[in-house]
Amino acid sequence: MSRIFITGDTHGSYDIQKLARKNFPEGKTLTKDDYMIICGDFGCVWGGVSWI
């Protein structure tokens, strides 16, 4: 069964904590059938830096 998760802007190290295990424990059980929708900016892919 697929699940859908929706969040707002995620600006690198400032907002990435909303996806940390402490704040988003469901992330530990995500599968390829699940969806994570980020509405707004997602600045974690720029500059070759991995924030997760």
Question: For 22-37, how does the pLDDT look when each residue is reduced to its tens digit (9 = 90+)?
Answer: 888 998 999 999 998 8
CB 3, CB 35: distance < 8 Å: yes
Q: What is the pLDDT of residue 41?
A: 76
- Interatomic CA distance for residues 51 and 44, integer angstroms: 6
What is the residue extent of each domain of the chain? 4-48
Distance CA 40, CA 43 (A): 10
Note the pLDDT of residue 35.
95
For the chain, what percent of residues have pLDDT higher than 90? 29
